[in-house]
Amino acid sequence: MKPAMSAAWNALAHAAETSHGVHLRDMFTADGQRFAKLSVTWNGWLLDYSKQRVNAEAMGLLHGLWQTADVPGWIARMRAGEAINHSEGRAALHIALRHPAGKGPILYAGHDVMPAVHGELEKMQRFAAQIHGRHWRGATGEPISDIVNIGIGGSDLGPRMATQALAAFHHPELKVHYVANLDGADLATVLAGLQPRTTLFIIASKTFTTQETMQNAASARRWLVQALGEAAVARHFVAVSTNLAEVARFGIDPDNAFAFWDWVGGRYSLWSAIGLPLVLAVGFDNFRQLLAGAHAMDEHFFSAPPAENLPGLLALLEIWNTNFLGAENRALLPYSQSLGLLPRYLQQLEMESNGKQVDRQGLPLDCATAPILWGEPGTNGQHAFYQLIHQGGRRVPCEFIVCKQADFALPGHHEKLLANCFAQSEALMRGRTLGETTAELAASGMAAGQVALLAPYRSFPGNQPSTTLLLPRLDPFNLGALLALYEHKVFVQSVIWDINPFDQWGVEYGKQLASRLLPVIVGTSSGAGLDSSTAGLVAACRDN
């Protein structure tokens, strides 16, 4: 049954209609226990969703939607290793990557995948010990000081984001850099500050054929060979790939290739060997803690009822905002500079997973799916786009993430950061009426004519929904749990919307067209049959 045809969906639509015009500030005035009723704690975390435009009736209906869509059944299918990525015939077993040793098997096609998973983790641990112990030497006998990860998409965004997020835990003698963009400026600017003899490259590509990654890898290889010779490649390149033939052809010893599996989707692969640059940045013990945090969130997701289930609550609240209140986007606002790349990471996780309009039966959907996600760390965003959120007239659900403790504890900073975060959520909820603004300006001694002139500009409608997630601190364990939280949130939404979150055919289509156009741009093909715009753009470039 299509989502919008179910009785639960229709009941929610009716609840949204009856709540129209009710202001959040009135909800708080009417119920002094609203925060206590609409907040959840877990493992030192606090999820406050009392500033969302929901009431007890709406939440009850949303919890019912969880059951109607059979979210528990889909969780069981994922855990059992079923091919829930039906369009590609694959399982989605990223949970196995953080499943502890000795806690039982996880099966895929009847085989326990855990020995292979932990074997690869042990290989990563040994390699990190070589690098950190300065035992791995480059072609000139010098230890490695810089790591360059070359990948794109899930082979870049996850480890890049986590490396920045855990800056407080970095190894003191090693710098980790990331290159993803096909634009030569990305690679060139990184290489400009490095020495070939002390640089190690990680080429991250499952197939070892990804166009952007392999072009950057070829250019990095040329840079190294020009300085140190062909034989140096084996001491300065390792791979994360399953295509050992191509790895060897590149000049990398297959023993220095780290594996992952086709049941690991790219945007869910941080927990695998794709996390190797993160291991080198923060150490294997901290990477273990990242996995432990993700596993703890897995266990919570698998067992908690919807009223207490953090991923489930985030998923259901966004469905409420998107499908019943008409919001088309969401602002992710981490009040943490270290989480500055989290919005970009979640853009891929959420919009690539659920940005679809065809259901699991191949039929058009009758409801909206993933909203547009954007954001910036606070307090920077306050001086950029918050004006639009406060007074721009668009409904923008906001998600604040902040930590009780600072990861870099400079005196006087964190208290002000917390004050700004909480003040913004309050202002978005409460707003300021024209009458309140008028009274405030008059009390300041402003002349009546000036008050009348300025009051409309200084009034705010409020009633803008937001959620605040308060973490104890930003450390590997809590970061792992945070990222797993959003993975499971995406999964819950996909079940309710009846879509496959694990394929990305829209990405593949653009790559196919690029492969067709490349011969036209370099002049080895005429480009017959191109539309006039594309042909004109190509011709304009070939004129140069």
Judge contact between 431 and 460, C-beta under 8 A: yes
**Annotated catalytic residue: which of 383, 404, 413, 416?**
383
Rg (alpha carbons) of the chain, rounded to whole number: 26
Q: Please provide the distance, in angstroms rounded to a whole number, between the alpha carbons at the two ends of the chain.
A: 55
Closest CA to 131 of 193, 183, 198, 189: 198
Distance CA 258, CA 251 (A): 15
Q: Is 90 left (phi over 0), alpha (psi -120 to 50) or beta?
A: beta
Closest CA to 486 of 310, 302, 259: 310
Judge contact between 287 and 132, C-beta under 8 A: no
Alpha-helix runs per DSSP H in 347-475: 353-354, 386-391, 414-430, 434-443, 448-454
Using CA atoms in the order 478, 347, 319, 3, what is the torsion angle rounded to 10 degrees?
A: -120
Active site residue 352: yes
HSE toward the beta carbon, residue 466, CA cutoff 13 A? 27
- CA separation (Å) from 184 to 149, 168, 511, 520? 15, 30, 18, 20
Active site residue 511: yes
- Match 């196995």 to its residue by tokens: 96
**Annotated catalytic residue: which of 120, 318, 352, 487?**
352
Furthest C-alpha separation in the chain: 82
Q: Is 529 left (phi over 0), alpha (psi -120 to 50) or beta?
A: left
User: Would you please indicate which residues are annotated as catalytic (active-site) residues?
Assistant: 352, 383, 511
